[in-house]
Amino acid sequence: MMSSVDLSVLSAAVLACLMVGTLHLRLNLWMYGATTMCIALATALTAQTHAEINLICVALLIAVLKAAGIPLFLLWTSEKLNVHRDVGAMIPPPLAMHLSIGLLALSFILTRGLPAPEMAATGWYGAAAGISLLFTGLVVMLTRRLAIGQILGFLVIENGIYVFALTQTLGMPLLVEMGVLLDMLVGVMFSGLLVFRIQKSFEHIDVAQLTSLKE
């Protein structure tokens, strides 16, 4: 029987697949925020089920920093750069979305034979959701041309790694999780500043065009 934690992380995986189906950066960022909020909810439910107080703190940090703070910062960045759509996507959004959905189904096949963790009888749902998020993040990074889209793909991959760790091992210790969140926040802010620098130097943030640069 599927638990509430399984339902939350699977909802995150489905939202991530739907996110790939649009090129509007604002919608992408809000859907990433909704995806991450589902993961924060899964963390809180896991904390309640297993009486892990540390996970409550992690859930709050994820909700505040990742689900709200990072999308707002990237939204502010896109507004400053006057960039609202990733018009140069490598493949059409509907095709990318269906590819992500197919990879979600593949994730269930790949994880079906994994042994369930001791604390859950249906841990393979969480494993499938984590692997699916990894695949979806890779699809985003490989199909989007704007630097902000590349950052978003990296963030989805990180969500997948976290979901897999949460559902299979109850996550990492609080100190480690706080360090990872801090590193991610600094990394995203640095990436945002780098995007400004690219825009100023080359008058665009299309990473595909950077491959043709010469000295």
Strand partners for 24: 85
Q: For each of the chain's 215 residues, which pLDDT tens digit applies?
A: 678 889 999 999 999 999 999 888 899 999 999 999 999 999 999 888 887 788 888 899 889 988 998 899 888 888 887 878 877 667 888 899 999 999 999 999 988 877 666 555 456 888 899 999 999 999 998 888 777 888 888 889 989 988 988 888 766 665 566 666 666 666 666 565 666 555 555 444 444 455 554 44
Contacts of 214 (CB under 8 A, 6+ apart): none
Among positive and negative, which fits the CA dihedral 95, 72, 129, 158?
positive
Measured from the Cβ of residue 169, the count of other Cβ atoms closer than 10 Å reads 12
pTM: 0.83
Helix (H), strand (E) at residue 155: helix 147-169
How many angstroms separate the CA atoms of 22 and 19, rounded?
Answer: 6
Phi, psi of 179 (to 5 degrees): -65, -40
∠ CA 163-60-130, rounded to 5°: 5
